[in-house]
Amino acid sequence: MQDFNYHAPASVADAAKLLAAHEDAKLLAGGMTLLPTLKQRLAAPSDLIDLSSVPNIKGICREGDEIVIGAMTPHADVAESALVRETIPGLAMLAGQIGDPAVRHRGTIGGSIANADPAADYPAGVLGHGATIVTNTRKIAADDFFLGLFETALEPGEIILGVRFPIPVWSHYQKLRHPASGYAVVGVLVAQTAGGVRVAVTGAGPNAFRASAMEEALTADFSAKSLDGLTIDAETLNNDMHASAAYRAHVVTVLAKRAVAAR
């Protein structure tokens, strides 16, 4: 790990000023990805801006027909929240499957989606529920947020403050878990929302994506049988030491069927 300057801003405005003042600065949320990266010297930021002391960006509440989760809320809080379990059980289920207990008590929802690891669970939860990412400058629809491998719509100096989840009619998450890391080799979230059925996939491609053909089939007939014969194009999927693209394509369909069957 190389030397860096440490900052603990007391407000979002102070954090934004520090980001603007230091071109090579990095925000520190839970640090579950950033700190190992620093230890391996794969990144060498000049400054670390720790968000843990910033008020009003942690916690869970209901506002109308939405559940609002602050960016610094740990995964364990989401998994164990009675409010989330009652209103968005698929999200609580997803959060409870992230990593291990140590990761769940330290990692945050804001850090996870900002990092946009292709095998992270939260991108499927955000995309599958049609959530809105709230930053210090604007609101970004989940459909517009994940752009590519570790790439999001966030602009320089933009800080995630929280995520607004519309309360669905129903949702469920299924995951093929990597036995060592706990990451998703493939993860599929199926949700019945006011705007229709949404099927979001993580782990299979370079970034989370929606399975539109499955959504159409489930809109016509919400049953596992309606997904028979539907496959994801393997040409667009990850092919690595953990699983081939063809295998991932198959698993997407299997997990989607399991999720629907849980209804």
Q: What's the pTM?
A: 0.95
**How confident is the model over 135-154, as pLDDT tens digits?**
999 999 999 999 999 999 99
- The CATH architecture one would assign to domain 5-50 is 2-Layer Sandwich (3.30)
> Is the Cβ–Cβ distance between 136 and 162 less than 8 Å?
no
> Is the Cβ–Cβ distance between 203 and 119 less than 8 Å?
yes
What would the CATH number be for the domain defined by 170-261? Answer: 3.30.390.50
From residue 200, alpha-carbon distances to 53, 89, 149, 229, 233 in Å are 33, 16, 16, 18, 15
The residues near 18 (Cβ < 8 Å, ≥ 6 apart) are: 7, 9, 25, 47, 49
- The CATH architecture one would assign to domain 60-166 is 2-Layer Sandwich (3.30)
Is 254 in a helix, a strand, or coil?
helix
**How confident is the model over 170-229, as pLDDT tens digits?**
999 999 999 999 999 999 999 999 999 999 999 999 999 999 999 999 999 999 999 999
Using DSSP bridges, classify how beta strands 5-7 and 47-50 pair: parallel, antiparallel or unpaired: parallel
**In the chain, what are the domain boundaries?**
5-50, 60-166, 170-261
Cα–Cα distance between 104 and 88 in angstroms, integer? 18
